[in-house]
Amino acid sequence: MTYTANSERYNEMNYVRSGKSGIKLPQIALGLWQNFGDNRTMDVQTEMILRAFDLGINHFDLANNYGPPPGSAEENFGVIYKKHLRPYRDELLISSKAGYHMWEGPYGEWGSRKNLIASLDQSLSRMGLEYVDIFYHHRPDPETPVEETMAALDHIVRQGKALYVGLSNYNAEQTQEAVTILRRLGTPCLVHQPNYSMLNRWIEDGLQDVLDEQGVGSIAFCPLGRGQLTNKYVEKITAERANPTGNLKKEAYTDERIAKFEALQAVAERRGQTISQLALNWILRGNRVTSALIGASRVTQIEENVAALKAPELTTEELNEIDRILDGIGNYPW
């Protein structure tokens, strides 16, 4: 059956300018990190991606190593794109990344010019694309000079294989240096993608200030703490002390920590929300974060997360209450 996108899709989503660029990002984007490889059927993946687009999510975030196995998320996305989304290419923001281990030998990871250019060529081939909209360096390389890495990103844009470049997992000092080099080369950094949530607030210690000063947008990955900031986590952990997300350390299961999550759930319920929706409202508070990058294993999760955008802004009293609840809670994924 031929797919036709929802004609009302752009009425469902808020779009925010990324830094000082000409690009507006949807406040909710869909990441294809873990549930778009060979661990999900193509029917399920197709349903999630098309439903996301129908809700106004036009930004799909990938990386060379997403799966499992590595590379399969890009391959599967390419199949779905070719079959259903090709007529909408100019409406889509498709991003990919390189930097983590992808193939054997000394050039299969990190930040060398050879790795970045070869990796993007592979990604484009897997997805069946001529270019990506955003290409990220996935993590800083402690050995390759940052000048080499940024020059490679600049070269990729000049080749027409990416329209914009981004950084991920760079700290404040590393970001300042990289952004300065990119601007000097003539390819400004569009966006930074950090791990950020109520449980992991490291970007507030300098990185957000650098991004604001340099006019760079931000898109937070793991805004739900890899499943910790969901009603499912609270309900399962309370009932059976299991590991509902499969990603957490044993330190996550203390009585004190569970009590904090239950108190957070009470805040969400007073607002008529789930914890997930509350967490997304918190991420997007004050417009310092441009977009939140969600993961999903089923369509209802995408619908739930997008619905968070209809809620009123968090009040000062609610924000202070959340801070009191989560004081000292820690973050225990992986």
Is 313 in contact with 285 (CB distance < 8 Å)?
yes
Domain that holds residue 219: 14-225+285-298+305-310
**Domain assignment present for 84:** yes
Which tens digits make up the pLDDT trace of 139-180?
A: 999 999 999 999 999 999 999 999 999 999 999 999 999 999
pLDDT value of residue 250: 73
User: Residue 189: CB partners within 8 Å, gap ≥ 6?
Assistant: 165, 166, 167, 178, 179, 182, 183, 214, 216
Residue 252 is predicted with a pLDDT of: 74
Whether the Cβ atoms of residue 165 and residue 179 lie closer than 8 Å to each other: no
- 184 vs 159: CA distance, rounded Å: 18
Task: Evaluate if pTM is beyond 0.75.
Answer: yes
Radius of gyration of the chain (CA): 19
Q: Cα separations (Å) of 210 from 58, 205, 221? A: 27, 10, 18
CATH code where residue 195 lies: 3.20.20.100
- Please tell me the distance from the alpha carbon of residue 265 to that of residue 70, in angstroms, as a whole number: 35
In a domain, 266, yes or no: no
pLDDT value of residue 227? 86
DSSP label at residue 54? H
Quick check: is 177 in a domain?
Answer: yes
The answer to the question of residue 107 being in a domain is yes
Q: For residue 254, is it within any domain?
A: no
pLDDT attached to residue 238? 54
DSSP 224-275: TGGGTTSHHHHHHHHHH---TTS-B-GGGG-HHHHHHHHHHHHHHHHTT--H
Q: How many domains does the chain have?
A: 1
pLDDT at 333: 63
166, part of any domain:
yes
- One pLDDT digit (tens) per residue for the chain, 334 residues: 799 999 999 998 999 999 999 999 999 999 999 999 999 999 999 999 999 999 999 999 999 999 999 999 999 999 999 999 999 999 999 999 999 999 999 999 999 999 999 999 999 999 999 999 999 999 999 999 999 999 999 999 999 999 999 999 999 999 999 999 999 999 999 999 999 999 999 999 999 999 999 999 999 999 999 888 988 777 755 545 455 555 667 777 778 888 899 999 999 999 999 999 999 999 999 999 999 999 999 999 999 999 999 999 999 999 999 999 999 888 876 6
Look at residue 20 and tell me if it is in a domain.
Answer: yes
On whether residue 243 sits in a domain, the answer given is no
227-254 tens-digit pLDDT: 889 887 777 555 454 555 556 677 777 7
Number of residues written out for the chain: 334
Q: Do 115 and 108 contact (CB within 8 A), yes or no?
A: yes
